[in-house]
A and B are shown apart, each in its own frame.
Chain A
Amino acid sequence: MSELTHLERLEAESIFIMREVAAESDNPVMLYSVGKDSAVMLHLAMKAFYPSKPPFPLLHVDTTWKFHEMIEFRDNLAKELGLELLVHINEDGVKQGVGPFSHGSQVHTDIMKTQALKQALDKHQFTAAFGGARRDEEMSRAKERIFSFRSDQHRWDPKTQRPELWDIYNTRIHKGESVRVFPLSNWTELDIWQYIYKENIPIVPLYLAKERPVVERDGVLIKVDDERLPLEPGEEPMMKMVRFRTLGCYPLTGAVESSAATLPEIIQEMLLTTSSERQGRVIDHDAAASMEKKKQEGYF
């Protein structure tokens, strides 16, 4: 071996970032969303500190509307790897009965995801939180730093980002402030899939095509994951060969019809496809700059 390949370089860069946080942050945590990017991030954390275990817990913000398979997968994996898993649910939201059907996707996402995340970070006084966001996902992310600082109100100010040169990261914060760290910043969706394939990383089976019960809503295929999905009069779930390109709350995550049941087939489909990844997400459909607004308010 003489020169690292592009995946090896990305891997080394992510590991460097994680080690830096472990060495300099008082109380780090890894936000684990159970999706494919989180799977890669967790795998890299296992590598970064080997033979030690990652010196931080995992945190999953559970909106109570995640796919059942995600929750099973999450619990099994944490047990298998012997890692501490913190699960946070916004109990106030649960008491008020907040959900995507009763309150709409925006209110639901804000209360059960954004607010819940802030609650969890405040409760445990985490000073640094790893997230799996990538710069290629969306325009405003393309300019976000790898170490992204948040005020004590969890706000992001794109105008006061710290310069980030070489591999030298300024991790210093005042009391009450925190930093979101994105070790996968320089990965693309294709890199993620190639790496999962090469490293044989376990992922939630929902990514692979299978016959699943779905209904069609506004042109989007929604999986009937439990009895909370209100069916229109006379509406019957149809069995379709579908898979998911991203995972989130099941009522807000559209399935795509697909026959790709293996990783190479997913990659093949992705390479030949014509629409970008976030299209399946209902919350991103607003104006092009909407993500920037959400982030300023504290969305990851």
Chain B
Amino acid sequence: MAHQSDLIEKDIEAYLLSQEHKSFLRFITCGSVDDGKSTLIGRLLYDSKLIYEDQLQTLENDSKKMGTQGDKMDLALLVDGLAAEREQGITIDVAYRYFSTDKRKFIVADTPGHEQYTRNMATAASTADLAIILIDARKGVLTQTRRHSYIASLLGVKHIVVAINKMDLVEYSQDIFQSIEQDYLTLAADLTFTDITCIPLSALNGENVTRAGEQMDWYKGSALLPFLEHVDVAKDHSQMPFRLPVQWVNRPNLNFRGFSGTTIGKNIHVGEEVIVIPSGKRSCVKSIVTHDGELQEAVADQAITLTLEDEVDISRGDVICAAESPAEQSNQFAAHIFWMAEDQLLPGRQYLLKTTNKLSPATVTELKYKLNINNFEHEPGKSLELNEVGYCNINLSQAIAFDSYKDNRRTGSFILIDRITNNTVGVGMLDFSLRRAKNVVWQDMAIDKSARAELKHQKPCVLWFTGLSGSGKSTIANLVDKKLMDLGRHTYVLDGDNIRHGINKDLGFTDVDRVENIRRVGETAKLMVDAGLIVIVSFISPFVSERRLARSLVEDNEFIEIFVNTPLEECERRDRKGLYKKARLGEIKNFTGIDSSYEEPENAEIEIKTLECSAEEATMEIVSYLEDKAFLEA
């Protein structure tokens, strides 16, 4: 603890006063074990004289026992924490370290480098203002460099330091440094950083870590620690419009009703007009209450309690906003989701979504594409696995206040919680509202679904036929349609082939297109159900998630899944359209059953085994089902 030790010894009170205005920086380090990440942090702690003698003793003992530096002290051991990790010599979780200089207090999150620990890096990045990306000078920009940069960018880290380490092993070559610098700037061209600073260093020898290096005269920039002391992050926090997400309603007695929360963005003053989202109610700030007395003005990130001039109904989950630039509100969003659980994300399943101050049930209605975190490319996908990122549509049961994550991390972020295990399974960054008219309430129709259905003497529903090509779906669907018509019911058939000639003619057979195909059919069926019709859909619809998606669009009891179960060999034997033959010859790609899988329904309402009954018998079974469940009133 050597900094300012003279002042500490001679005038401790003056020293304490000088420390009061120290600022604060949270940063992360990304890189793999081999890049010397833990050594770098160990070096920062060691050179800042922040290691006590007894810790140093432990370090010396540990270095002998399990160090990797021979007789030298292994500074990485200062940082690696949990017992299992120490034995394996790798960092698994996120470890937080604290150190300070005379100018700043630092919190550094050390995160693992391997791909399977990507979620840990995302965790650390979520609260960091700056990321140090380590590159081994011998190896240059690697896949993991791209991955770490992309995650930092996705999580909204604005400032990047590229620490080009192990310069001692490349003879402190300026050419190598410049070439890596150039490669990195090319890589980061599409990412959303506000600044990128490259520093050549040797963590092992302490070159350009806390002090300028002696070996690299050609480098004119500042060493790492001085740079971290001076980088300006305050304006990242204070330039956004004012928000107060209400965390807790403060009611000590009947005469006081305050709204407690932590401020975001620009200063707020007594007398200023505010608007509450989502209710849209307006009022003015009456007082800013703290334990230390009332304030005239509050700054960003301050924990305060506001009272308002008018009696406005506000509860936890609401966001008090600057009147001239309120947060948006919506119940449908496009968002990036980062999946953090072993069990995959299932579109259509209900999760709990928690924002900074509100919990609500939510469904991922559609996975538009997956993002390859190693090369930033979009890829089709039907679900997300651990450590995967996807761009999704999300549906909430109620409208919430939000901002786009790129504008505001605190009001643009959320976590997804599994309803059964209570685990945090995913995290997300809101992009924009899917409702075009943001402040328009859903149009209430004078005549509703039940009125239309009553007129037709039926309960509207979707009969969703799924099965392999050639299984007999369309044959049975047409017979059902005819039978219902005979019974005087109002129906309509949406057939896969016919739809693909019209509304979906722009779609192919990739996974992404299949999802969109089903979404459009599902939405169309939903409109028809709303009009009071019994809608007969005949689609291969091979994936569980797609069928779940279609099911989620209508009400619980309105979706009847009919699995037309015909073995593949039988379908191929029938081959009425000659498609299987072409698929076998490789003339048709992505053909279900041949080179694309069919996921059998597990909980279909009706299963028809076509080898065991005729199409007419199947039809009777389906119509009886409708009668039994009172879809067809007398």
Residue of B nearest to A141 (CB): B81
Q: Does B561 contact A (CB under 8 A)?
A: no
Nearest CB of chain B from residue A280's CB, rounded to whole Å: 11
Contact with A along B225-241 (1 / 0, CB 8 A): 00000000010001000
B1-36 contacts to A (CB < 8 Å): 1, 5, 8-9, 12-13, 15-16, 19-24
Q: Are the CB atoms of B23 and A166 closer together than 8 Å?
A: no
Report how far A268 CA is from B16 CA in the complex, Å: 9
In the complex with contacts A139-B81, A165-B413, A194-B19, A271-B123 CB distance below 8 A: no
Q: Are the CB atoms of A46 and B291 closer together than 8 Å?
A: yes
Q: Does A210 contact B (CB under 8 A)?
A: no
Q: Are the CB atoms of B251 and A12 closer together than 8 Å?
A: no
Q: Does A294 contact B (CB under 8 A)?
A: no
Which residues of the other chain, A, contact B250 by a CB distance below 8 angstroms? 49, 51-52
Q: Does B481 contact A (CB under 8 A)?
A: no
Contact with A along B339-352 (1 / 0, CB 8 A): 01000000000001
Q: Does A73 contact B (CB under 8 A)?
A: no
The contact of A166 among B54, B119, B127, B260, by CB within 8 Å, is: B127
Q: Are the CB atoms of B414 and A4 closer together than 8 Å?
A: no
Which residues of the other chain, A, contact B415 by a CB distance below 8 angstroms? 163, 165, 168, 170
Which residues of the other chain, A, contact B300 by a CB distance below 8 angstroms? 3-4
Report how far A172 CA is from B62 CA in the complex, Å: 39
Residue of A nearest to B261 (CB): A19
Q: Are the CB atoms of B291 and A47 closer together than 8 Å?
A: yes
Q: Are the CB atoms of A275 and B62 closer together than 8 Å?
A: no
Q: Does A103 contact B (CB under 8 A)?
A: no
Nearest CB of chain A from residue B315's CB, rounded to whole Å: 10
B236-286 contacts to A (CB < 8 Å): 238, 247-248, 250-252, 256, 258, 260-262
Report how far A6 CA is from B107 CA in the complex, Å: 11
Nearest CB of chain B from residue A81's CB, rounded to whole Å: 12
The contact of A163 among B62, B86, B340, by CB within 8 Å, is: B340
The contact of B301 among A9, A140, A185, A190, by CB within 8 Å, is: A9
Which residues of the other chain, A, contact B54 by a CB distance below 8 angstroms? 274-276, 279
Q: Does A265 contact B (CB under 8 A)?
A: yes
Which residues of the other chain, B, contact A4 by a CB distance below 8 angstroms? 24, 299-302
Q: Are the CB atoms of A168 and B356 closer together than 8 Å?
A: yes
**Which of B53, B83, B300 is most buried by chain A, counting CB atoms within 10 A of its CB?**
B83
Residue of A nearest to B340 (CB): A163
Q: Does A101 contact B (CB under 8 A)?
A: no
In the complex with contacts A12-B303, A15-B303, A140-B82 CB distance below 8 A: yes
The contact of B122 among A50, A140, A165, by CB within 8 Å, is: A165
Nearest CB of chain B from residue A68's CB, rounded to whole Å: 30
Chain B contact residue count (CB 8 A cutoff): 80
The contact of A162 among B53, B251, B258, B423, by CB within 8 Å, is: B423
Which residues of the other chain, B, contact A172 by a CB distance below 8 angstroms? 352, 417, 422
From B95-103, B484-492, B592-600, B618-626, the one touching the partner chain is B95-103
Q: Are the CB atoms of A51 and B252 closer together than 8 Å?
A: yes
Q: Are the CB atoms of B23 and A5 closer together than 8 Å?
A: yes
Which residues of the other chain, B, contact A191 by a CB distance below 8 angstroms? 105
Report how far A47 CA is from B289 CA in the complex, Å: 10
Q: Are the CB atoms of A16 and B12 closer together than 8 Å?
A: no
B406-425 contacts to A (CB < 8 Å): 409-410, 413-415, 417, 422-424
Nearest CB of chain A from residue B384's CB, rounded to whole Å: 15
Please report whether the interface of chain A is mostly helix, strand, loop or mixed according to DSSP.
helix
The contact of A50 among B19, B95, B100, B290, by CB within 8 Å, is: B290
Q: Are the CB atoms of A3 and B5 closer together than 8 Å?
A: no
Q: Does A238 contact B (CB under 8 A)?
A: no
Which residues of the other chain, A, contact B289 by a CB distance below 8 angstroms? 50-51
A1-36 contacts to B (CB < 8 Å): 1-9, 11-12, 15-16, 19-20, 22-24
Q: Are the CB atoms of A173 and B422 closer together than 8 Å?
A: yes
Q: Are the CB atoms of B96 and A135 closer together than 8 Å?
A: yes
Q: Are the CB atoms of B16 and A166 closer together than 8 Å?
A: no
Q: Are the CB atoms of A142 and B95 closer together than 8 Å?
A: yes
In the complex with contacts A52-B251, A136-B98, A274-B53, A292-B424 CB distance below 8 A: no
Which residues of the other chain, A, contact B119 by a CB distance below 8 angstroms? 163
In the complex with contacts A47-B291, A53-B252, A158-B356 CB distance below 8 A: no
The contact of B123 among A163, A186, A267, by CB within 8 Å, is: A163
Q: Does A235 contact B (CB under 8 A)?
A: no
Q: Does B382 contact A (CB under 8 A)?
A: no
The contact of A292 among B82, B126, B316, by CB within 8 Å, is: B82
Q: Are the CB atoms of A163 and B424 closer together than 8 Å?
A: yes
Q: Are the CB atoms of B422 and A170 closer together than 8 Å?
A: yes
Classify chain A's interface size.
35 or more
Q: Are the CB atoms of A170 and B409 closer together than 8 Å?
A: no
Q: Are the CB atoms of A168 and B82 closer together than 8 Å?
A: no
Q: Does B355 contact A (CB under 8 A)?
A: yes
Report how far A214 CA is from B119 CA in the complex, Å: 52
Report how far A274 CA is from B2 CA in the complex, Å: 11
Which residues of the other chain, B, contact A173 by a CB distance below 8 angstroms? 422
Report how far A52 CA is from B258 CA in the complex, Å: 10
Q: Are the CB atoms of B104 and A6 closer together than 8 Å?
A: yes
Q: Does B55 contact A (CB under 8 A)?
A: yes
Q: Are the CB atoms of B303 and A166 closer together than 8 Å?
A: no
Nearest CB of chain A from residue B269's CB, rounded to whole Å: 12
Q: Are the CB atoms of B301 and A12 closer together than 8 Å?
A: yes
Q: Are the CB atoms of B16 and A194 closer together than 8 Å?
A: yes
The contact of A186 among B52, B96, B248, by CB within 8 Å, is: B96
Which residues of the other chain, A, contact B414 by a CB distance below 8 angstroms? 168
Which residues of the other chain, A, contact B58 by a CB distance below 8 angstroms? 288
Report how far A7 CA is from B19 CA in the complex, Å: 10
Q: Are the CB atoms of A6 and B105 closer together than 8 Å?
A: yes
Q: Does A167 contact B (CB under 8 A)?
A: yes
Nearest CB of chain B from residue A120's CB, rounded to whole Å: 24
Q: Are the CB atoms of A197 and B16 closer together than 8 Å?
A: yes
Report how far A189 CA is from B288 CA in the complex, Å: 31
Q: Are the CB atoms of B8 and A268 closer together than 8 Å?
A: yes
Q: Are the CB atoms of A165 and B19 closer together than 8 Å?
A: no
Which 4 A-B residue pairings sit nearest by Cβ, starting from the closest?
A15-B303, A289-B83, A165-B126, A6-B105
B residues lining the A interface (CB < 8 Å): 1, 5, 8-9, 12-13, 15-16, 19-24, 52-55, 58, 62, 81-83, 86, 93-98, 100, 104-105, 107, 119-120, 122-123, 126-127, 234, 238, 247-248, 250-252, 256, 258, 260-262, 289-292, 297, 299-303, 305, 316, 340, 352, 354-356, 359, 409-410, 413-415, 417, 422-424, 427
- Can you list 26 A-B contacts (CB < 8 A)? A2-B238, A8-B302, A15-B262, A24-B359, A49-B260, A50-B289, A51-B305, A135-B96, A140-B81, A140-B83, A162-B423, A164-B123, A164-B424, A165-B123, A166-B409, A166-B410, A167-B356, A168-B415, A168-B427, A170-B417, A172-B352, A194-B19, A273-B52, A274-B52, A275-B54, A276-B55
Q: Beyond the given A143-B93, A279-B54, please list 18 additional residue pairs across the A-B interface where CB-CB is below 8 A.
A: A3-B234, A3-B300, A6-B104, A16-B262, A20-B247, A24-B359, A48-B260, A51-B250, A51-B258, A136-B97, A139-B81, A140-B83, A163-B424, A168-B356, A168-B415, A172-B417, A276-B54, A288-B58
